[in-house]
């Protein structure tokens, strides 16, 4: 009687401890960096440890971080949106126009968020409907959205927003805890569940790893990507409401250069720029890291251009480091 061949199984010599895996994960490393920067800032400036100073530090990153949460999902799926700052400018401008027609606070909030949603849907339609590369599309719409703002406003500004509108960007829920910060934490929890605890999130990872296999597996790739573009635009609209409320005015140059900071948050948080891997908890910690760094540099009166150079160098370094480490590992293994 012929013996049936048994299936070969690869059994690891040692089981990897979940605790060990967590300790050596990228989010844990980022958390250690955040703690180190916090301690460094406390020695660098005597004003840093004030409760109100720490509260001000949250204003330094929450608006960008809200967009980074949605951008993380989009990049995990293998796409990108470089037009988010242009969406903020256009949404703020449309809110300013509505203000001139006597629209009150609830209406301004709805208009700002809906403008962001429409812009995101426009990007999504071009990418998923026409099959155009997202990086090309969103570079174009980045100029388009901000260009419309410049056409409407020129070198002017919309001012005179209602006092009630100021709460969204300047108000506090309790003591030094701002409305923006609470909104960010709630949004982070929602995006964590969406990406890591739902079938929709699993589809995002599958699409980012292999969109062809995902399509043959029954995943509606184009629909998922379209939803993600809409979601990114929606969060840009939310950020536009918060930023306009905090500044109390609308200018076409609002949020200039924010694309770089947002993408840096996402990539620093461990999201692969090519898609397929990433976590919301990493992005959240990365937002705190960047917020602490920029706020600490601000307390030391470091010029804004130096901060831009630092963020640009950080983005290049975070993208290049895994590649260099892989090459180094391959050479050592030979």
pLDDT tens-digit readout, 24-73 = 677 888 898 889 889 988 988 888 888 898 888 898 899 999 999 999 99
pLDDT tens-digit readout, 139-187 = 999 999 999 999 999 888 899 899 999 999 999 999 899 999 999 999 9
SS3 for 250? strand
* Global pTM value: 0.89
What pLDDT is stored for residue 50 in this prediction? 87
Q: Which stretches within 162-303 are classed as H helix?
A: 167-170, 179-196, 199-209, 211-216, 221-247, 258-268, 280-299
Long-range contact set of residues 306-313: C-beta below 8 Å, sequence gap at least 24: 308/257, 308/260, 311/260, 311/261, 311/264, 312/260
Q: Contact at 8 Å (CB) between 76 and 82?
A: no
Q: Measured between alpha carbons, how far is 76 from 128 in angstroms, rounded to an integer?
A: 16
SS3 for 178? strand
- The DSSP code sequence of 234-247 is HHHHHHHHHHHHHH
What pLDDT is stored for residue 4 in this prediction? 44
SS3 for 254? coil
Which residue from 286, 309, 285 is spatially nearest to 297, judged by alpha carbons? 309
Q: Name the stretches of the chain with pLDDT < 50.
A: 1-13
Which residue from 242, 234, 270 is spatially nearest to 58, judged by alpha carbons? 242
What pLDDT is stored for residue 18 in this prediction? 61
Q: What domains sit in the chain, N to C, each tagged with a CATH number?
A: 55-320 (1.10.3470.10)
What pLDDT is stored for residue 6 in this prediction? 45
Q: Measured between alpha carbons, how far is 157 from 210 in angstroms, rounded to an integer?
A: 46
């Amino acid at each position: 009687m012929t013996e049936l061949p048994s299936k070969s199984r690869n059994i690891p010599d040692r089981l990897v401890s979940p605790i060990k895996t967590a300790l050596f994960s990228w989010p844990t490393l980022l958390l250690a960096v955040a703690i180190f920067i916090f301690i460094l800032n406390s020695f660098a400036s005597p004003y840093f440890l004030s409760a109100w100073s720490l509260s001000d530090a949250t204003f330094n990153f929450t608006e960008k971080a809200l967009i980074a949460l949605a951008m993380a999902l989009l990049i995990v799926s293998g796409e990108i949106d470089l037009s988010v700052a242009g969406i903020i400018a256009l949404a703020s401008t449309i809110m300013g126009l509505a203000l001139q027609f006597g629209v009150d606070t609830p209406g301004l909030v709805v208009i700002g968020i809906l403008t962001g949603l429409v812009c995101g849907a426009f990007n999504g339609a071009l990418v998923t409907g026409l099959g155009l590369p997202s990086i090309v599309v969103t570079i174009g719409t980045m100029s388009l959205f901000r260009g419309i703002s410049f056409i409407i406003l020129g070198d002017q500004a919309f001012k005179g927003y209602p006092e009630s509108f100021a709460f969204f960007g300047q108000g506090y829920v309790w003591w030094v805890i701002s409305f923006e910060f609470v909104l960010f934490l709630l949004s982070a929890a929602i995006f964590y569940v969406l990406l890591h605890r739902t079938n929709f999130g699993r589809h995002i990872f599958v699409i980012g790893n292999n969109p062809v296999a995902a399509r043959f597996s029954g995943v509606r790739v184009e629909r998922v990507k379209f939803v993600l573009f809409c979601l990114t635009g929606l969060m840009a609209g939310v950020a536009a409401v918060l930023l306009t409320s905090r500044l109390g005015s609308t200018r076409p140059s609002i949020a200039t250069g924010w694309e770089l900071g947002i993408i840096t948050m996402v990539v620093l948080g461990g999201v692969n720029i090519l898609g397929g891997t990433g976590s919301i908890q990493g992005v959240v910690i990365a937002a705190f890291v960047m917020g602490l760094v920029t706020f600490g540099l601000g307390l030391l009166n470091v010029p804004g251009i130096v901060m831009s150079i630092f963020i640009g160098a950080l983005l290049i370094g975070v993208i290049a480091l895994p590649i260099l480490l892989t090459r180094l590992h391959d050479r050592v293994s030979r």
